[in-house]
């Protein structure tokens, strides 16, 4: 790792302080406050005893996600999407990513004709809201499915893999892990990576915002991401009391 100075003062391969608080609100089957430093996202998992039309009668379940930001979760107040009457392209892109990532974590054929709704609402934003949301939603979803196991509605946790997500980027020429807002605004390349506990990829989304990037840079970024995700999955398991 190079010796550039990050605005956050972290070393290139350091995560921010990550916290996962279960049972954050009382109504949802799963409810987690996830914090990646100053980024704070409430992730709730809600079970519903039906599936969308295209799956009716097929004996399998569905998992879907929605994402939102409170208007003043950001430095400058944004318009409220409910008041404007539509979700932005960015919002839709993020909630589609969260949904795909979590559908890869669970076996949709193993929890009956039910839908799990994941709601990821950003209370405070400081970069990396989508990766925090995926990481927190994993724990909320696990808790929600646990209620089905406990009530014997299903016989076992429908888990395929643990998944977590992190951002990586090139800041002042050097690859760094888990960008906060200041670093993200100043970086050339931004990549979000979603991986499983087996070290395999679910999603790789890299964008050159300034200069295009080469294969060597891509490789460095992926290595940083893999190390970070390993730590995040360990924290998810510990939070859930799994060994």
87 binds a second copy, rule: CB under 8 A: yes
- Residue 90 marked ligand-binding: yes
In the bound complex, what is the minimum distance in angstroms from residue 41's beta carbon to a second copy? 11
Do the annotations mark residue 130 as ligand-binding? yes
Q: Which of residues 121-150 bind a second copy (CB under 8 A)?
A: 121, 123-125
Site for a second copy in 10-49 (CB under 8 A): 25-28, 31, 38, 40, 42, 44, 46, 48
Query: From the CB of residue 198, how many other CB atoms can be counted at a distance below 10 Å?
Result: 8
**For residue 232, which of 180, 166, 168 has the smallest C-alpha distance?**
166
Closest approach of a second copy to the CB of residue 210, in Å? 9
Report the candidate in 180, 124, 114 with the shortest Cα–Cα distance to residue 144: 114
3-state secondary structure of 142: helix
Which token pair is 45?
């998992």
Listed in sequence order, the residues at least 6 apart from 149 whose beta carbon sits closer than 8 Å to its beta carbon are 155, 156, 157
Draw the binding track, 187-206, toward a second copy (x: CB under 8 A; -: no contact): ----x---xx-xxxxxxxxx
CA max distance for the chain: 58
Residue 207 is a binding residue for a second copy (CB under 8 A): yes
What SS3 state is found at 162?
Answer: coil
Binder among 92, 147, 185, 242 for a second copy (CB under 8 A): 92
Beta-carbon count within 10 A of 216 CB: 9
Q: Which residues bind a second copy (CB under 8 A)?
A: 25-28, 31, 38, 40, 42, 44, 46, 48, 66, 68, 70-75, 77, 80-83, 85-87, 89-93, 95-96, 100, 104, 117, 119, 121, 123-125, 161, 191, 195-196, 198-208, 211-215, 218, 222
Residue ranges of the annotated binding site are 90, 128-130
């Amino acid at each position: 790792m190079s010796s550039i100075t990050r605005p956050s003062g972290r070393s290139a391969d350091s995560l921010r302080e990550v916290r996962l608080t279960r049972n954050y609100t009382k109504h949802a089957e799963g409810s987690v406050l996830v914090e990646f430093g100053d980024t704070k996202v409430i992730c709730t998992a809600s079970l519903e005893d039906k599936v969308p039309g295209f799956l009716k009668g097929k004996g399998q379940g569905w998992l879907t996600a929605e994402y939102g930001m409170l208007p003043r979760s950001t430095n400058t107040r944004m318009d409220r999407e409910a008041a404007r009457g539509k979700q932005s392209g960015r919002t839709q892109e993020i909630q589609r990513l969260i949904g795909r990532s979590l559908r890869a974590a669970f076996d949709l054929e193993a929890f009956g004709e039910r839908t799990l709704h994941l709601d990821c609402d950003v209370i405070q934003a400081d970069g990396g809201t989508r990766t925090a949301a995926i990481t927190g939603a994993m724990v909320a979803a696990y808790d929600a499915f646990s209620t089905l196991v406990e009530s014997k509605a299903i016989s076992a946790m429908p888990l395929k893999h643990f998944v977590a997500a992190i951002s990586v980027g090139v800041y002042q020429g050097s690859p760094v892990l888990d960008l906060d807002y200041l670093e993200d605004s100043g970086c050339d390349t931004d990549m979000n990576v979603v991986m499983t506990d087996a070290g395999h990829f679910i999603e790789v989304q890299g964008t050159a915002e300034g200069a295009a990037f080469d294969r060597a840079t891509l490789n460095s970024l992926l290595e940083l991401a893999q190390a970070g995700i390993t730590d995040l999955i360990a924290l998810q398991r510990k939070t859930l009391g799994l060994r």
